[in-house]
Amino acid sequence: MFCKVSHKVCYDSETLAEEALIQHHARQHHVPGRGPVNIYLCDHCDGWHFTSKGEPHPSLSRPDVQERIRKEREGNYWERKLRG
């Protein structure tokens, strides 16, 4: 589902949006300072969206999350290598 005002993907809850943000970071290699860094509650659709502005979400700097992102990236790397 997309927001009619921001045209961004809507997440039903903060937890879902946070999880999606972590996944996004794990799967994509961002140029520092670009790409979504945080989530916010939308005034228009009552859903949660990504934002590339402001401070990074505190969860992204949690050691267990960092570890997960690192592992997922490694997994993706080997997946690509093996597919060749």
Is 3 an interacting residue with respect to Zn ion (CB under 5 A)? yes
Q: 11 forms bridges with which residues in the sheet?
A: 48
Count of residues engaged in binding Zn ion, rule: CB under 5 A: 5
Nearest to 3 by CA among 56, 43, 52, 59: 43
Q: Does 42 bind Zn ion (CB under 5 A)?
A: yes
Q: Does 45 bind Zn ion (CB under 5 A)?
A: yes
Distance in Å, CB of 17 to Zn ion, minimum: 11
Closest by alpha carbon to 72, among 32, 22, 1, 13? 22
Residues of this chain that interact with Zn ion (CB under 5 A) are: 3, 6, 42, 44-45
